[in-house]
Amino acid sequence: MELNQQNSYNQEEESTINLREEFDKYLRYWKWFLLSVVLSIIVAFYYLRKTTPQYESSATIMIKDDKMGGGMMTELSAFQDLGILGDNKNSIDNEIEILKSRTIIENVIKELQLNVKYIREGHIRVRDYYNDAPIKMNFLDGDSILYKTKATFMVKVLSKTSFSIEDTELGSLGTHKFGQQITTPYGHLLLIPEFTGEMPSNPEVYISIIPLKLMVSSFREAIKVEPTTKKTSVINITLQDAIQKRAQDILNTLIKKYNEDAINDKNMVSKSTAAFIESRLQIINGELSLVETDAASYKKENKLTDIKSEATLFLENVSDTKKRILEANTQKRLAEFMIEYLNQNQGETKLMPTNLGLTDVTIATLIAKYNELVLERNRILKSSSLQNPVVVNLDAQLQTIQQSLTKSLNNTKQSIQIALTDLNKQEKLIDAKIIEVPQQEKEYRAIERQQQIKETLYLYLLQKREETAISLAVTAPNAKIIDVAFSNDIAVSPKKNIILLASLLIGLLIPFIIVYVRDLFDTKIHSRKDIEQKLKAPILGDIPAEKSKEQFIMTGDLRSSSAEAFRLLRTNINFMLASTSTHNLGKTIFLTSTISGEGKTFIAINLASTLALSGKKVLLMGMDLRAPKLTQYLGIGDKKGVTHYITDSSIHESDLVFQHQDLKNLDIISSGAIPPNPAELMMNPRIKQLFESIKKTYDYIIVDTAPVNLVTDTLLLNTYADMFIYVIRANYLDKRLLVVPETLYKEKRLNNMAIL
């Protein structure tokens, strides 16, 4: 358990160290972070300064939907018994689409002249005028040009009476006086001053004319229409704009145009019904006059006063039959009127009269459905053409309904006729009982029956005319305004706090990403930590980079950091070699590296100097037979070396050694001439003979060998080494090449290997 706790503690400590190292890695570039944050905040302030604030305006309305408890059913409850209200319901989704329709938004733009913008350019920010521009432009060639033109004019007020005008694309249009007609490629226009007294503070005004279609599309996207909840018919309309008053006017005008459109639709049905009733009244009035004239003439000719009183007893028995005959005749005549109306208007899409009194539910339903489709067709045609697939489909439906309605009316007429036949038969049976009644009574009764039918129908149509007039008089708006448009004084964009916070984060993120990417693609070794993460071999120490080109550190400033590092290296080497038994012979220390240029020769020279300064007899030996650098660094000429010794048996070891000019305890053997077969020379028996001889003479033999990643020469000398110092140069060696020393260490191919 204690072991587990110790492991857990070590893991936490290692994690803390890693986090600290990561933090330090970025902290080194604190100047970058500071500069980036400052620049980001400056850009953010400039953006906030340049961007025009946007304010949100909103209005709330309630669609008068009968399902939701509002609408005409509530306002006109006193007229429900008249049957003029119908049973149409407003779909909230449909009304939302109508509010955002191109037709209504186009009417709003035209009324407020939103497609003409007056703009003032400041030093940093551009500002729109709204009802406060110092000038106003009027087109003289009609609205069609104004709504189709795309142009921008720059007007400069020169005095209270004159100005210069320039088309930003076509160039100057000259200098003119206010109220003077100006000829342009877009038509004739004139400018009217709106300022009085002093000249405007900013005499330059840009006038931008935007095509109506583009403005409609823009506002359809900008205006948000959403229900407050799913269970109510309350709708919230919002719009963001730089000018609060303009946004409020747009929303209020939008609601007004929507109500006007809804009222017009409702009035169309009522007006169509009123026209039909009026035409029927004129016909019935003429027929009623003829019947009344016939009745008066009959009484006059036959000198009759009150024929009805003479047959009171008999008429009481047949009153019920007459009433039924009267109702049947009324229904029959109404059916005939509707059939005549359909025949006269065949192929047309006019609204049909409703609530005429026909008792057939199917006919009433078909008429209501027909009128609903006619209204929908007319609404679509406002923004479309007859070739629109939706219009074609509606025409087909209307034709089908007309056919169904004609068939239903004919069937109803036939049914009524059958009923009348039966009633007439019944009446004849009763008439047989009153055969004694004078013939005049029968003739007058026929005239009176016709008179009653005409009177009933005439009174019925008069009542319907009044009901239709009431519906026209009390037509209410479709939307009730709950809250008129109002604006929030706090800008919704740009959001200062969010932008400043974002700029701060971006300022920190940019250098972070740069450092991270730079570190991600950096494959060089930079610190001892990079080696410790990859290698298990012991590390002797670190030698700081030397800026001077002096190869002998130990012959210069002996108090420098480099000199102290070599002394520490000497101590660590003695510690590692303390357990190595050499039988009082010299200790051989080989130096190698992964690739050329890592500084092993530099280390070899100064390590030998350090050991020599401690009073030990040291031999510095060059065994890099392929690219020898030792004599070049020491500044000595060509001398006999190892290759000469191996290839010429007459040469003795003493012939190779020469003493360093400044250090009496330091002798040197160079590598000699570069041979064509270095690897074969390394296996020569004289190599062993050479090492056995020099180990008897020297305390330390420092051997500079070839890089192990390039050639096999160094590995062939492993048996002669008491210790291998593997030199790794920071900011030079690729991390991916650390697999070379790791493999050599694991396979123990280099004796007593340590990293420097």
**Which sequence spans correspond to the domains of the chain?**
25-51+496-522, 116-209, 312-436, 528-755
User: What pLDDT, on the 0 to 100 scale, is given for residue 316?
Assistant: 67
Number of Cα atoms under 13 Å in the Cβ half of residue 476: 16
Question: By the 8 A CB rule, do 338 and 364 touch?
Answer: no
Instruction: Read off the amino acid at residue 40.
Output: S
Question: By the 8 A CB rule, do 381 and 391 touch?
Answer: yes
Question: How far separated are the first and last CA of the chain, in Å rounded?
Answer: 38
User: What pLDDT, on the 0 to 100 scale, is given for residue 86?
Assistant: 46
**Would you state the structure tokens that stand for residue 636, as one six-digit string?**
């000595």
Average pLDDT of the residues in 509-515: 88
What are 5's strand-pairing partners?
none
Binned at pLDDT 50, 70 and 90, residue 29 comes out as confident
* Maximum C-alpha span of the chain: 181
Q: Spell out a b/e string for 359-375, using b for 16 or more CB atoms within 10 Å of the CB, else e.
A: ebeebbebbbebbebbb
Say how far apart CA 110 and CA 103 lie, in whole Å.
Answer: 11
Instruction: Read off the amino acid at residue 649.
Output: S
Report the top-level CATH class of 528-755. alpha beta
Question: pTM value?
Answer: 0.55
User: What pLDDT, on the 0 to 100 scale, is given for residue 535?
Assistant: 84
CA 138 remoteness from chain centre: 39
Q: DSSP for 572-605, please give it.
A: HHHHHHTT---TTPPEEEEEEESSTTSSHHHHHH
Q: What is the mean pLDDT of the chain?
A: 80
Q: Which of 159, 141, 112 is nearest to 253 (CA)?
A: 112
The runs of H, that is alpha helices, within 434-538 are 439-473, 496-521, 528-532
Give the pLDDT confidence of 37-62 residue by residue, as tens digits: 999 999 988 888 888 888 889 999 88
Binned at pLDDT 50, 70 and 90, residue 70 comes out as very low
pLDDT above 90 coverage of the chain, percent: 6
Binned at pLDDT 50, 70 and 90, residue 726 comes out as very high
Say how far apart CA 374 and CA 352 lie, in whole Å.
Answer: 9
CA 484 remoteness from chain centre: 30
Q: DSSP for 411-439, please give it.
A: HHHHHHHHHHHHHHHHHHHHHHHTTTS-H
User: What pLDDT, on the 0 to 100 scale, is given for residue 304?
Assistant: 61
Binned at pLDDT 50, 70 and 90, residue 702 comes out as very high
Q: Which of 188-192, 252-256, 335-339, 358-362 has the lowest mean pLDDT?
A: 358-362
Residue 736 has pLDDT above 70, yes or no: yes
Residue 385 has pLDDT above 90, yes or no: no
The three-class DSSP label of residue 357 is coil
Give the pLDDT confidence of 532-568 residue by residue, as tens digits: 888 888 888 888 876 665 555 555 456 677 788 888 8
User: What pLDDT, on the 0 to 100 scale, is given for residue 7?
Assistant: 45
User: What pLDDT, on the 0 to 100 scale, is given for residue 270?
Assistant: 74
**Would you state the structure tokens that stand for residue 448, as one six-digit string?**
């009176």
Binned at pLDDT 50, 70 and 90, residue 82 comes out as very low
User: What pLDDT, on the 0 to 100 scale, is given for residue 725?
Assistant: 92
Give the pLDDT confidence of 575-618 residue by residue, as tens digits: 888 877 666 788 999 999 988 888 888 888 888 888 888 888 99
Say how far apart CA 546 and CA 562 lie, in whole Å.
Answer: 7
Say how far apart CA 425 and CA 195 lie, in whole Å.
Answer: 90
Could you tell me which residue, 713 or 434, shows the higher pLDDT?
A: 713
Say how far apart CA 85 and CA 476 lie, in whole Å.
Answer: 12
Say how far apart CA 217 and CA 101 lie, in whole Å.
Answer: 10
Q: 335 to each of 409, 414, 521, how far by Cα in Å?
A: 6, 10, 92
CA-only gyration radius of the chain, Å:
55
The three-class DSSP label of residue 136 is strand
Residue 508 has pLDDT above 50, yes or no: yes
Residue 76 has pLDDT above 60, yes or no: no
User: What pLDDT, on the 0 to 100 scale, is given for residue 85?
Assistant: 47
Q: 157 to each of 184, 193, 194, 729, how far by Cα in Å?
A: 19, 9, 12, 75
Q: Which of 449, 451, 464, 453 is nearest to 281 (CA)?
A: 464
Could you tell me which residue, 715 or 363, shows the higher pLDDT?
A: 715
32 CB-contact burial (10 Å; exposed 0-12 / middle 13-18 / buried 19+): middle
Dihedrals phi, psi of 173, to nearest 5 degrees? -110, 10
Say how far apart CA 155 and CA 406 lie, in whole Å.
Answer: 66
Task: Give the angle 552-556-557 at the CA atoms, nearest 5°.
Answer: 130
